[in-house]
Amino acid sequence: MKSNLLIYVACLLCLNAFSQVPNIEWQKSFGGNIHEEAFNIQQTTDNGYIVLGYTNSTNGSVITGHPGGYDIWIAKLSSIGNIVWQRTLGGSQHDWAYNIQQTSDGGYILAGSTDSNNGDVTGNNGNLDYWIVRLNSVGDIIWQKNYGGSDHDYARSIKQTLDGGFIVVGGTSSNNGDVSGNHNALSDYWILKLNSSGEIIWKKCLGGTSHDAAYDIQITSDGGYIITGVSSSLDGNVTGNHGGGSRDFWVVKTNATGDIIWQKSLGGTSEDFSHNIQQTTDNGFIVTGYSSSNNSDVTGNHGNYDCWIVKLNATGDIIWQKSLGGTNIDSAYSTKQTTDGGYIVAGYSSSNDGDVSGNHGNNDMWIIKLNNSGDIVWQKTLGGSADDRAFSIIQTIDGGYVVAGVSWSNDGDLINNQGYGDVWIVKLSPENLSISEHDASKFSIYPNPTNNYIKIQNKENSTANFDYKIIDLIGRIIKIGKSKFNEQINIESLTNGNYIIQVETENGKKTTKKLIKN
């Protein structure tokens, strides 16, 4: 359900607005007596949030899981961060998950790994398996599936596809069971296309004879996929490694059946590690991670690891790249394109110089707002005197941001840490101060809800031309076109669900409306 164009569309798009560093609207710590982390957060159709992480606590604000190792922890939050429901999933061994998405039926799909074969888990193939779990809207398991072989298989990213199935990516060291075509005994990218019941439609191993591991996949506007991760291979599907075997960003564009269209190794002669990719509104891509290089594709390193943000065109060529940070360790995990065409970046920093200011001590969550050329608009450190890290950020429907990660602090920006590392969720306010916006009441959509078509009606001018974008609630641009007011727009191809339609008139006025397809 996302081509990670993640423009989390604000209800009102602002013109002639200027920005300030956003304030904390609310923050929540969730945890117990041992350890919790949150790896992914998404806004849900009710304007609340779904949070995914793990726990091995036995008390506190997380419900007790299965005795043994780590369990997957899922929490449905209200719009102000209160727990509506929560679930722990797993067995007696270690169970992790890294990516969750609300599905078109209002439920959820998550991707992770397990070496359990009891409790909620059945069908383990040996060692770590991909573990994919489909939940209903209140977190009950609809189905769960293990995929893999006798070695280690770990899923990192999952997205619902337009056919109601799913695309999954991660890494595999297996070459038996469900896995075939592995290039080496270390790790390959492993892509699975599943139907809506979790059965495998097709699968692909991509890589070379060294270590290759995928961390994110997104559906692209052409119906194919874009994948990012790391590779230290010099052969197989991989070309262009800069370090003679050190890790590079490895970005792979495939068609709808997983065949490679193009691939790019990005980096320098030191370590370059990619976590996140998103297609941008110009059909290019924004790639996120960290780098200790300062040559080849990488310039401007401040020392040690820097956040490394790379803007690519539609064929994978670098448009611009930015090394962001200070003289200590700085790492980026999540970047989303924002409604103004810029980018919001989340990670962590232990620096307090260079691009970074306001560090509270140790690692802080580091939030960076960039313009569309990659220049810093503002930056903000969040945390306390202990270790605080951000792993996921989105722009929310109100134009603000929500961040998910982990905190060991109980001072500074933190309150109510419940022991050791806790899940930490931070809601930031919208950054716009002065707003000149189009009056949304002058536009209407008819019919709404609708089955096959809509008309955009404008009380001021019933015949003017306009451009429009239809965007799903996690930011994927589903349809782009031009029309006139009171003319029919065909939306038969859209799957049922809630959407945002953005209208831009000939004089540059913009507004957004909610659209329901049933």
Q: Can you give the CATH number for the domain in which 506 is found?
A: 2.60.40.1930
The whole-number pLDDT of residue 5 equals 35
Q: Does 376 have pLDDT greater than 50? A: yes
Lowest-confidence pick of 398-412, 449-463, 487-501: 449-463
3-state secondary structure of 442: helix
Amino acid letter for position 48 = G
Place of tokens 């076109």: 481
On whether both 229 and 194 belong to a single domain, the answer is yes
The residue segments making up the domain with residue 499 are 443-517
pLDDT of residue 19: 61
Q: What percent of the chain is modeled with pLDDT above 70?
A: 92
> What share of the chain in percent tops pLDDT 90?
74
- State the pTM of this model: 0.83
For residues 114 and 187, membership in a common domain is answered with yes
Cis bond before residue 449 (omega within 30° of 0): yes
Residue 99's identity, in one-letter code, is: N
Confidence of residue 475 (pLDDT cuts 50, 70, 90): low
Across 201-227, average pLDDT: 98
Q: What is the pLDDT of residue 242?
A: 94
Domain co-membership, 375 together with 456: no
State residue 486's pLDDT score.
86
State residue 11's pLDDT score: 37
Are 423 and 499 within one domain?
no
pLDDT-derived band at 170, boundaries 50, 70, 90? very high
Which residues, listed in sequence order, are joined to residue 381 by a DSSP beta bridge? 366
Q: Indicate if 400 and 464 belong to the same structural domain.
A: no
Note whether residue 9 is domain-resident. no
Domain boundary among 428, 461, 476: 428
Tell how far CA 301 is from the center of its chain. Answer: 25
Asked if residue 456 and residue 419 are part of one domain, the reply reads: no
Per DSSP, the three-state class of 356 is coil
**Would you state the pLDDT for residue 518?**
81
The mean-pLDDT minimum among 53-62, 406-415, 431-440, 507-516 falls in: 431-440
Average pLDDT over every residue of 266-294: 98
Q: Do 91 and 217 fall within a single domain?
A: yes
- Does 313 share its domain with 404? yes
What is the structure's pLDDT at 432? Answer: 62
Residue 473: predicted pLDDT: 65
Mean pLDDT confidence for 219-240: 97
For residues 327 and 294, state if they share a domain: yes
Q: Within a domain: residue 131?
A: yes
Per-residue pLDDT, 479: 87
Instruction: Look up residue 35 and give its amino acid.
Output: H
- For the chain, the distance separating the N- and C-terminal CA atoms, rounded to the nearest angstrom, is 16
Arithmetic mean of pLDDT, 330-356 = 97
Arithmetic mean of pLDDT over the chain: 91
Distances (CA, A) of 9 to 6, 123, 141, 361: 8, 40, 30, 34
Asked whether 407 and 387 are in contact (CB, 8 A), the reply is yes
Average pLDDT over residues 72-81: 98
The answer as to whether 19 is a domain residue is: no
Indicate whether 317 and 282 sit together in one domain: yes
Q: Domain count of the chain?
A: 2
pLDDT score recorded for residue 272? 98
**What's 117's domain CATH number?**
2.130.10.10
> Is 192 inside a domain boundary?
yes
CB 150 within 8 A of CB 177: yes
- The pLDDT, as a whole number, for residue 434 is 36
